[in-house]
Amino acid sequence: MKKICFVIMGYGKKTDPTLGKTFDLDKTYHNIIKPAVIAAGYECVRGDEVQESGLIDRSMYGLLIYSDLVIADITTFNPNAIYELGIRHAAKPFSTIVMKEKDGNIPFDINHNKTFTYSHMGEDISATEATRCQGALTGLILSIEKSQEVDSPLFQHIQSVKPYVLPEDEYIQLIKELAEKEKLIFALVEQAKVEMAKNNFIEAIKYWKKASDKITNDSYFIQQLALCTYKSKVPSEKIALQDALTIITQLEPDGRTTNDPETLGITGAIYKRLWLIDNNEIEYLDRAIKYYDKGFAINSDYYTGENYALCLDLKGAYIGDEEEKIYCKLEAKKARRKIIDIIDNLQLDEEFLIRSDLKWIYATLANCHLALNNDAEFKENEALFMEKSPLDWELETYNNSKKHIQNLNN
């Protein structure tokens, strides 16, 4: 039987609670971990959060105990990954690799362990970094396989402890069960993305719902389900928005500890669209401003910043209080200038041009410069956005913001 590497980590986009930065962990798995593991001669099985209930199940315990190798990516400090890493350290003395994104802090209780680090741009990992990490991780796997050096804190400090033993036939069955689950989840997510690319949000909802049902309380799946729900406009735009609000509320956007810009951005977008349907409810717009402002303040996210500025302009044009009008106008201008500065700093990175979110960066710059009456910069960035061949729904999103700004400027 081929050697098994069991990978414990989160799925989709997750936000680091201390950095306030969002990472697409699927990019880590598919661009670094899986290729490196396969190159080292192992079968790769991704496990964290694949269980169909909120509790760790028997297949997880079996794989944590028996797998030839376990790789735990603790980026964003996913509680399941941390818990499962503890089980592995208690079950097996060697062949466990801990890895994380380079900017995150290491919890004190595992700080003494050797940790494999990598650089993540948030939305994607550069080709250069992926190639470097694949080679380095493959080398590390082969090295620890050969040395079998003790890496578990428990077995390092209490040498009399004996590792657990699981019958091989039971383990083989667990492998089959979990591999099928992992493949199913991946297939659901990929099909949902295909439907979104075709503007078929009703079909995409079905796949995100299935994925969300299988992995309860996963923020990425809930976010995508809410996004597709309000974009479907079914059975009506207002009802779809209200349904989406019910879905995203599961992630507690009003919570004091909520710092995920995707959750805050989607919540803000829902309230902004509710206000555009019913201008008499100024509270909708105030709530949109609140959520966008929070997302922008937490981690200088350009998307929430752009919408924060737009909502301020919309409010300034609607209300009658002259002092508040002036405040909204000045605050919107300040936010857009800050966004341009943020993106200017991003452009200093040598890997800026290979970012997966480059399309949205150009769209944001175009609308910011349009609002600031920088005509040449607006045209330049709009052309760059169009060169990226945006999907129909992406183009619609951009044009809606552009239209609002043009109406406000006239």
* CATH number of the domain encompassing residue 119: 3.40.50
Residue 129 · residue 119 · CB < 8 Å: yes
Segment 35-42 shows an average pLDDT of 93
Write down the pLDDT at residue 54.
Answer: 39
Domain co-membership, 374 together with 268: yes
Q: Which neighbouring-strand residues pair with 98?
A: 72, 115
Side-chain-side CA neighbours of residue 374 (13 Å): 15
Per-residue confidence band for 179, with pLDDT thresholds at 50, 70 and 90: low
Per-residue confidence band for 51, with pLDDT thresholds at 50, 70 and 90: very low
- DSSP helix/strand/coil, 73: strand
* CA–CA gap between residue 282 and residue 315 (Å, rounded): 8
Write down the H helix ranges in 98-167. 127-147, 153-157
Q: Which of 166, 191, 214 is the last residue of a domain?
A: 166
* CA–CA gap between residue 125 and residue 355 (Å, rounded): 8
| Residue 35 forms part of a structural domain | yes
Residue with tokens 């597709």: 228
| Residue 246 forms part of a structural domain | no
Phi, psi (rounded to 5 degrees) for 4: -110, 130
Q: Which neighbouring-strand residues pair with 14?
A: 23
| Residue 84 forms part of a structural domain | yes
* CA–CA gap between residue 131 and residue 250 (Å, rounded): 38
Q: 3-7, 23-27, 187-191: which has the minimum mean pLDDT?
A: 187-191
> What is the domain-level CATH number for residue 395?
1.25.40
| Domain ranges, residue 39 | 4-166
Residue 10: which residues within 8 A CB-CB, separation 6 or more?
Answer: 25, 48, 49, 73, 75, 76, 78, 80, 81
| Residue 188 forms part of a structural domain | no
Domain co-membership, 16 together with 125: yes
Number of domains making up the chain = 2
Task: Among 210-214, 345-349, 370-374, name the most confident range.
Answer: 370-374
Let me know how long the chain is. Answer: 410
* CA–CA gap between residue 342 and residue 331 (Å, rounded): 16
Write down the pLDDT at residue 297.
Answer: 92
pLDDT: is 131 or 215 the higher one?
131
Domain co-membership, 152 together with 272: no
* CA–CA gap between residue 8 and residue 60 (Å, rounded): 10
Q: Which of 136, 166, 196 is the last residue of a domain?
A: 166
Write down the pLDDT at residue 398.
Answer: 97
Write down the pLDDT at residue 119.
Answer: 92
pTM value is 0.74
* CA–CA gap between residue 358 and residue 351 (Å, rounded): 11
| Residue 269 forms part of a structural domain | yes
Query: Model confidence over 131-156: pLDDT tens digits?
Result: 999 999 999 999 999 988 888 888 88
In percent, how much of the chain has pLDDT > 70?
Answer: 90
- DSSP helix/strand/coil, 296: helix
| Residue 199 forms part of a structural domain | no
| Residue 229 forms part of a structural domain | no
Q: Which of 115, 140, 166 is the last residue of a domain?
A: 166
- The average confidence (pLDDT) of the chain is 88
